[in-house]
Amino acid sequence: MIVPMTSDFDWAHFRRAFGEDPGVLPDGEVLGSTEHDWDAVFAMLHRSGWKLTTSDGHSPLPHNRRGLAELESFAVWPVDGVRVNFFPVPDAVFFDVDLRELVNQTTVDGLAHLMRKLGTTLRRDVVIREEGAGGAPVLRYTVATDQFSLS
């Protein structure tokens, strides 16, 4: 189902797409991204005005990936109550989000806004798959059409 939108998608459709017993932390990825994309991600996040911290939840996010300790993750709150964890690995831009925090349309809109910003910043599609699954995406933001699709 393609859901045209300006900044969000329907929360009820989103919940149904993940099924009755979803994994708690679905995996997100910017498709085709590489380690060279991290500087653009950090710059976009610093311009966003969102709360940003390292994995300890208190330290400010450095201005680039080289400012993080090896294997250190960081968190972004695109809307109050929704923490998106990023894992700055060398081979791609990966993140996860806790489905238990996506409780209404406002929280889902926050996730959609973050996905759109990632996609437009890197000019690549952004997907979210069920936790630990390498299969088809449950949610996809397609840059070329500026649309979200749910499985």
Which DSSP category does 140 fall into? E
Give me the DSSP letters along 27-93: EEEETT--GGGHHHHHHHHHHH--EEEETTSSSBPPSSGGGSPTT--EEEEEETTEEEEEE--TT-E
Whether residue 4 has pLDDT greater than 50: no
Query: For residue range 40-51, what is the model confidence (pLDDT) as tens digits?
Result: 999 999 999 999
Q: Are 51 and 77 in contact (CB under 8 A)?
A: yes
59-82 tens-digit pLDDT? 888 888 888 877 789 999 999 999
- For residue 113, the Cα-to-chain-centroid distance in whole angstroms is 9
Span 87-126, pLDDT tens digits: 988 889 999 999 889 888 999 999 999 999 999 999 999 9
Per-residue model confidence (pLDDT) at position 7: 47
Output the pTM of the full model. 0.89
DSSP conformational letter for 12: H
Which pLDDT score, from 0 to 100, does residue 94 have?
A: 94
pLDDT at residue 14, as a whole number: 82
